[in-house]
Amino acid sequence: MNLSSEHFDPDMPYWQDYLPYLEQLAGTGFPGCGQLNGLMKPGLRSHGGHAIRFVPSEQLDDDGYEHRIYTTGQVSTRKDNWHDLFNALVWMRFPGLKVAMNALHYQAIPDQTDGRRGPLRDALTLFDECGVIVLSDSAELLNQLAQRRWHDAFLGGKFSTSVQIFICGHAMLEKYLSPYKSMTAKALLLHVDPALLEGTRHEMLRHIDQAISARIMRGELINTPPSLAPLPLAGIPGWWPRDEQQESGFYTDQQVFRPAPRTLVPALVNDL
């Protein structure tokens, strides 16, 4: 894997939680399952009791992705595939969250009708693919995001000092290989004590992985797709890699920063 600017700009904040793994995987070729398994948290198991490990997809039968993880621990991983590589990196960074989401998927499978996943599995899939976790000690700012008051949220002066954002959706990481302005994540908005934001990034990551996984296993935080708020990532201060400045006019592009519909029911802001 080439860690040149062709793929990753280490100065961009959206890579910060994954650079340690990417640097360990740097080499002459695309990392295989053996390398990925070597970076996994020791002893990580599915709620079905099986050790989590990445397995080449061509070695597996088509018996259901989430079912297989729960009942065998095997995570199907395609060769030389960015999407699956980033999925593996999220397993490394948010192991508790990934195990919990898999358990909820597995438990909900018997409730499927007519091939439809249902609202819980739809929400989990959106979060797994496109999710970001937004922490802030400002309930006002979080509600501005939920209500799609983009100018107030991004230009109100609090964002850079009162917010921490963590990408947990592997499809969003893949999109950052070639970022574009309209990239929109599905955000879990969490109001936290200021003391959490004063800790190290590692401490925050460990805390939210444990806390969110426990909460969703109790049926909290993520239940239906509207539990998650759309978040145009280009609006986050410092996250737009182009020459265009993130000033007031930047946020007038309604194809990206869409106004709230009159019938909007904002996503909930949850206390963590």
Residue 109 has pLDDT above 90, yes or no: no
Question: Do 80 and 151 lie in a common domain?
Answer: no
**Could you tell me if residue 5 is inside a domain?**
no
Question: Do 69 and 131 lie in a common domain?
Answer: no
Which amino acid is present at 179? P
**What domain count does the chain have?**
2
Give the pLDDT of residue 2.
60
User: What mean pLDDT value characterizes the chain?
Assistant: 93
Give the pLDDT of residue 4.
55
Mean pLDDT calculated for residue range 93-114 = 91
Residue 112 has pLDDT above 80, yes or no: no
Give the pLDDT of residue 227.
97
Residue 42 has pLDDT above 70, yes or no: yes
Summarize pLDDT for 158-179 with one digit per residue, the tens: 898 999 999 999 999 999 999 9
**Could you tell me if residue 85 is inside a domain?**
yes
Asked which of 20-24, 233-237, 243-247 is least confident by mean pLDDT, the reply is 243-247
Residue 32, helix vs strand vs coil? coil
Closest by CA to 150, choosing from 229, 228, 224, 244, is 229
Taking the CB of residue 155, how many other CB atoms lie within 10 A of it?
A: 16
Domain boundary residue, one of 117, 152, 176: 117
Percentage of the residues of the chain whose pLDDT score is greater than 90: 80
> What is d(CA 240, CA 235) in angstroms, rounded to the nearest whole number?
7
Residue 216 has pLDDT above 80, yes or no: yes
Question: Do 141 and 251 lie in a common domain?
Answer: yes
Question: Do 138 and 267 lie in a common domain?
Answer: yes
Percentage of the residues of the chain whose pLDDT score is greater than 70: 96
Question: Do 95 and 130 lie in a common domain?
Answer: no
Give the pLDDT of residue 246.
85
Summarize pLDDT for 113-133 with one digit per residue, the tens: 676 788 999 999 999 999 999
> What is d(CA 197, CA 244) in angstroms, rounded to the nearest whole number?
29
Domain holding 184, by residue range, is 124-271
Question: Do 148 and 263 lie in a common domain?
Answer: yes
3: pLDDT confidence band, cut at 50, 70 and 90? low
**Could you tell me if residue 247 is inside a domain?**
yes
In sequence order, the 6+-apart residues with CB closer than 8 A to the CB of 209 are 93, 94, 95, 96, 97
Question: Do 265 and 131 lie in a common domain?
Answer: yes
Mean pLDDT calculated for residue range 70-80 = 96
> What is d(CA 208, CA 136) in angstroms, rounded to the nearest whole number?
12
